[in-house]
Amino acid sequence: MTWKLYAVVSAGAFVATYLMSSPVTEKARATPAAAPASARQSAAGSDIVELADQLQRRQRTTVNYRTPGRDPFRFQPRAVRPPVVIAAPAVVEAPAPPPAPPLPLLTLSGIATDMVGGQPQRSAVLSSPVGVAIVHEGESVAGLYTVVSIGDESVELESTADRSRRTLRLGR
């Protein structure tokens, strides 16, 4: 905001304030014809008498006190209810077998082929968190699996615990 704009806005605010707070002129002070004082007093007196009569009527119709149904400052014992009996189910289910332990993380890292007696013999390189193992068909892997077959890009393992089969592929 520049100083010129600031001066114009301030001057406008000053003029508006001056015009709004100008003294009241005599024309505005003139009141309508005053009613006689006695008429005003008699009207006010009748209003007061009327209001006093209404209060007297309300006091005469006093409601009898009754004890409230709930007292937040006094505690009473609750009514004793008979206990609810829930019948046990007739059939008891056997607990679910515990989940099988997680399979060890085995990955197929590579497959090697050697020529033994003119026959190709494959070896699989398996990686696990424990280390690396080079196995042939029929050998055991960590005491959990037996190598069933070794293909060009996969190895088939059989679990020694439940005879389930698991296939590991290269690159996965």
Using one digit for the tens of pLDDT, what is the confidence trace for 51-105?
888 888 776 666 677 777 777 787 777 777 788 787 776 776 778 877 766 666 7
What whole-number distance in Å separates Cα of residue 93 and Cα of residue 77?
A: 41
Residue length, the chain? 172
- For 28, the token pair is 């505005």
What whole-number distance in Å separates Cα of residue 106 and Cα of residue 99?
A: 20
Q: Model's pTM, two decimal places?
A: 0.39
What whole-number distance in Å separates Cα of residue 5 and Cα of residue 1?
A: 6
CB 140 within 8 A of CB 133: no
- For 17, the token pair is 């304030």
Domain assignments of the chain as residue spans, ordered by start: 107-169
